[in-house]
Structure 1
Amino acid sequence: MSPDAASPQRAILQFLTSLRSPARILVAISGGSDSTGLLLLLDEAVKAAPHLKISLCAATVDHALRAGSADEAREVAALCASLGIPHIIMIWQGDKPKTGIMAAAREARYGLLAAAAESFEADLIVTGHTFDDQRETLQMRGMRTEQISTGIADAVLFNRRFWILRPLLFSNRADIRAFLKERGVPWIDDPSNEDVTYERVRTRRKLSADAGAERNIRAAWEARLALSARGADWLDRHFTLHGGLLGQVTPDGLRQDRAVLDYALGRLTAIFGGQPFVPGRAQMDRVLTFVTGSRLGRMTAGRVVFDLRRDGLHLARESRGILPLVLRPGEAGVWDGRFGAVNRSGTIIGVEAQAGHSLIPVLVTGIQPPRVGAVNDSIMLEESPAPKDLGALDSCDIPRIKSEDRNEGGSDGRLPKGAWKRAMAAAPVLSAEGAPLSEESARMVELTPYFAPFDRFLTRFDFIFANRLSAVFATAPYARLPLRSIDGKTI
């Protein structure tokens, strides 16, 4: 996976030798030149190096968006059969959205590829993205922001489970097509690749050569990896999580290098706000100006309340705009972009925000409650009917609030009342038709923290920070990369 790969063949050989083995690779193949070239390159290399103990399987996603797609998928199946490679066709079923079709297709595609990998017991997925795709992506992102982009990542973890790797990311499409022509293997040209209603097609037609693009991408990758590591160290030193709901940054943490603060606080904002992306540049500049200033107070951005006090910065989800989630028996979903929920009970359950309910919120197993105070100084709640293995709050979990601490936060390490109450208002509550769940049903509902910017798609550049965050939230670590080395460097 090196930007210095001189040819597709060299890129594939370097990729295979970098893999942890034995390994089973699922090749995503549409029938286009890039993915067909990827399959043949891998097939030749794997057969030439049996000592690597690597096997292949393949999947074609039929998006069912145009006539002829089913026939094309069958052509790919025939090619795989001729090579002796197990293959499956995955069809995107159901109604298609009227707008945002490309994004929806991408979501469906990776979900179906993951299902195929599961059925084949594959260890990883590979796609045929090329340097041409990379340049188009950089051009499109460059039109939206002045920040240096990392472009398409060479490794992305999908759903915390499968790593998606792109071994041809620095190989040119022309070289891949030349390889296919030498082998006498045809490919399918998707007509959507010439449809100028798509931004990528319009960008492709305007692209000019950039001799320094590879070097710039590599530098951006190294910078992002370094920032992820520094952000993880910042978490260790300056961030505390209370009750799984309220984040706190020390005053010293707000005085750290602005680039690190921007990186870490932007991602914490996305996590506490349940958003898949960090706030935009203008919004983050406003947040950073506020949190690094000398004026205490509150502001809201990205669905997060930033409460700046003498004891530091407190972050909590604002209680507005939180939609309920209804799960039938056996269903799973994500509530508010912040909690994964699995309903293993035999009844329909609802997950809603505490605000406006008399129900007691539940916290997640493994999360430590806030510091306990004396009863007469605490906010008192009736004991929760929810089971203790769900981490339910009861009266002894409520932070102690001294009267002199109510505006600025306590100097003795206890939480300010206002900040904690806001966090509690956005806490999840479980119900069945508006009534509390029975203890038996509640025990069958699993709630776990969900990181919206990471848990669906996590690039390797953010892996260090995200994995450290998993430890802070007491969740399982992310699956490690299936590589022994990257660019010749052992990892």
Structure 2
Amino acid sequence: MTRWSAASPPWSRTWPTSWSRGATAPAASASRVTFDAAASAAAAALAAGFSGVPGEICLAVSGGGDSLALLALAADWAAATGHPLSVATVDHRLRAEAAAEAAAVAARCAALDLPHATLAWDGGPGAGNLSQAARDARRALLSGHAAARGAAAVALAHTADDQAETFLMRLARGSGVGGLAGMAARSEVGGVLWLRPLLGIRRDTLRDVLRARGWGWAEDPSNLDARFDRVKARRALDTLAPLGLDVPRLVATASRMAEARDALDHAGQALAAAALSWSAEGEACLRPAPLRAAPRSVRLQLLADLLTAVSGRRHPPRRAALERAAEAMLGAEAPAGSLHGCLWRRRGEGLVLRREPRACPPPVPARRDQLWDGRWRVRCSAPVPEGLSLAALGPAGLAVTGRPPGGVAAETLHATPAIWHNDSLIAAPACGYPADGRAAAWSAEWTIEDARRRRVLTCR
């Protein structure tokens, strides 16, 4: 059952709800002055985080305390600046209370005269990591909604506490510099700008912002479930704080790791220019000599980005597995291997890295514009008939299309997108099938969705 919190400190009864617009309070107690400074810092952080965004910002608001505080602060900022905002709530349909929480957010937005949409996840729980599936679904729903509205950015309500917890979890997994850099305040993925303007603000401060306004919020019971790593990390912070490993210290360390990652990216760009080339089908060709000559940290970061891009996944492989794969790739013995949904093969003096066909996703309904397997942008210039699906070409499809000229390996083509009607192949855009123009409406372009990885791996 969702727990709603609405308790207010005694001073909130006299503190005007328009505090962020410059209203002054009566004679200030020490606690009120402390709150005023913290709340002002949160408002300033949000304004800085939203600075320079050219169009509408879509706020992701679940009804929890962090995201409702994002809504409160953003509404004040928009009232002062005239900047357009919209709000979206994702209902994963995993808890009975989620629909009521979304309705409460919608009512709050109506009172603020802000457009609101509830985005429902129809995928539901299946096999595998439910938490990861829900995160991926949430991101896809928000991204699609923002694109449909023409929004310039999506704002998320991650806090300093979230950043510290993320740092601890990644430290426990043995992450390298890239992982320990934590979440970025701004990142571009799939043409969508993702903003986290409150990464430097404590969770308790945001709760105080809500109490001052008399706003209640929902508490997800999973936030207290010790089976989840994030809850374990949260509790570990209480133990570590007396040692000096508190939230501000961990957030500062993550910031320094982000600076180190930027340096690795700069060196990685130069290494990619010397060692890496791409085919139109997303096949990466590597020259081992420049990789061997590069500093180990630069080499491993580049390989991590490369495996993530070729696989279409959001996150890189685990560090220990990456180190073993790098040693095998650059050694003289193993002719082939696999990691992170990718296959690598020796070809002459070089290496070829391609998507593993069996790791491609199951069929999904075909639409006019969609990202498939995290790496192909598939479009149709005409209305898509009912009953068509998008799936990997596979051996059965390649038997129909035949191999196009250019010498691309069958394994690579097996992992390209194709349009199917039941078991009948309709179109294979990456293979130019069919050649008579009947499927000319379909196109497919291989892409690296993450802007940072794209800059490093393609130097653009």
Work out whether the TM-score is over 0.5.
Answer: yes
Matched with 2:204 is 174
Q: Aligned-pair distance for 1:261?
A: 1.2
SS at match of 2:219: coil
Which residue of the partner structure matches residue 189 of structure 1?
219
User: How far off is 1:168 after superposition?
Assistant: 0.9
Instruction: Identify which of 378, 398, 414 aligns with 1:341.
Output: 378
Does structure 1 residue 466 correspond to structure 2 residue 431? no
1:35 aligns with 2:76: no
CA distance in 1, matches of 2:76, 2:360: 51
Change (3 A) 1:238 1:33: same
Amino acid at match of 2:38: S
The letter for the 2-side match of 1:172 is R
CA distance in 2 between counterparts of 1:152 and 1:278 reads 14
Q: Deviations over 1:324-355 (max 9, x none)?
A: 86576646666666544345576957642359
- Listed as ranges, the gaps of 5+ residues in structure 1 are 1-5, 363-392, 399-419, 472-476, 478-491
Query: Matched residues in 1 for 2:42 and 2:336: separation?
Result: 49
One-letter amino acid of the counterpart of residue 255, structure 2: R
Q: Deviations over 1:264-318 (max 9, x none)?
A: 122223333455443332332223323444x366121215444456743333446
Q: Distance in 1 between matches of 2:138 and 2:413?
A: 37
Change in Cα spacing, 1:469 to 1:81, as seen in structure 2 (3 Å) is same
| Residue 47 of structure 2 is aligned to residue 9 of structure 1 | no
Q: CA deviation at 1:423?
A: 5.8
> Equivalent residues in 2 for 1:65-464 (5 A)?
65-93=94-122, 95-97=124-126, 100-145=129-174, 147-148=176-177, 149-158=180-189, 160-208=190-238, 209=241, 210-211=245-246, 212-242=249-279, 244=281, 246-254=283-291, 255-293=293-331, 295=332, 298-302=335-339, 303-308=341-346, 311-317=349-355, 321=358, 330=367, 338-342=375-379, 348=388, 351-353=392-394, 357-360=398-401, 393-394=404-405, 397-398=406-407, 421=409, 426=414, 428=416, 433=424, 437=434, 439-451=436-448, 455=449, 458=450, 463-464=451-452
Q: How does 1:50-65 map to 2 (within 5 A)?
A: 50=81, 53-65=82-94
Deviation string 1:356-375 (CA, Å, 9 cap, x unpaired) is 9444567xxxxxxxxxxxxx
How far did 1:224 drift?
Answer: 1.2
- The answer (yes or no) to whether the contact 2:182–2:254 under 8 Å persists in 1 is yes
Check whether the contact 2:288–2:330 (CA below 8 A) recurs between aligned residues: no
Change (3 A) 1:438 1:126: same
Q: Is the 8 A contact 1:8 1:171 kept in 2?
A: no
Mapped to 2, the partners of 1:289 and 1:215 lie a distance apart of 33
Q: Distance in 2 between matches of 1:237 and 1:124?
A: 34
Question: Residues 421 and 73 (structure 1 numbering): CA distance in 2 closer, same or farther, change over 3 Å?
Answer: closer
Could you give the per-residue CA deviations for residues 378-436 of structure 1, whole angstroms, max 9, x where no partner exists?
xxxxxxxxxxxxxxx33xx34xxxxxxxxxxxxxxxxxxxxx65666646485862696
Higher relative contact order (CA 8 A, sep 6+): 1
Distance 2:74 2:222 in 1: 27
CA shift, 1:171, in A, is: 0.7
Please give the secondary structure, in 2, of the residue aligned with 1:228: helix
Code of the residue aligned with 2:202 in structure 1: it is N
CA distance in 1, matches of 2:435, 2:364: 16
Q: CA RMSD in A?
A: 3.4
Q: TM-score, normalization: structure 2? A: 0.74
1: CA distance, partners of 2:253 / 2:361: 44
| Aligned residue identity for 1:279 | P
Q: Specify the code of the residue in structure 1 equivalent to 2:224.
A: E
SS in 2 for 1:54: coil
Q: Secondary structure of 1:170's match? A: coil
Letter in 2 for 1:269: L
Please state whether the residue corresponding to 1:142 is helix, strand or coil.
helix
Give 1:27 shift.
1.4
Aligned to 1:390: none
Secondary structure at 2:335's aligned position in 1? strand
Residues 219, 92 of structure 1: alpha-carbon distance in 2 compared, 3 angstrom cutoff:
same
> How far has the Cα of 1:119 moved from its partner?
4.7
* Alpha-carbon distance in 2 for matches of 1:270, 1:357: 25
The 1:74/1:272 distance shift into structure 2, 3 A limit, reads: closer
Tell me, in whole angstroms, the C-alpha distance in 2 between the residues paired with 1:233 and 1:342: 33
Paired position in structure 2 for 1:26: 58
- Normalised by the size of structure 1, how large is the TM-score? 0.70
How far, CA to CA, are the matches of 1:431 and 1:116 in structure 2? 24
Distance 1:166 1:272, change over 3 A: closer
In the alignment, which residue of structure 1 is the partner of 2:8?
none
Question: Compared with structure 1, are the counterparts of its residues 464 and 138 closer, same or farther at alpha carbon in structure 2 (3 Å cutoff)?
Answer: closer
Relative distance call for 1:238 and 1:13 in structure 2 (3 A) is: same
Q: CA deviation at 1:215?
A: 2.0
Which residue pairs with 2:32 in the alignment? none
Cα 1:299/1:203, change in 2 over 3 Å: same
> Deviation of residue 217 (structure 1)?
0.9
* Residues in 1 aligned to 2:456 and 2:151: alpha-carbon distance in whole angstroms: 27
SS in 2 for 1:85: coil
Matched, 1:44 2:76: yes
What is the match of residue 485 of structure 1? none
Count of residue pairs the alignment pairs up: 399
The 8 Å contact of residues 304 and 317 in structure 2, kept in 1 or not, is answered as: yes
- State, as a whole percentage, how many aligned pairs show the same letter: 28
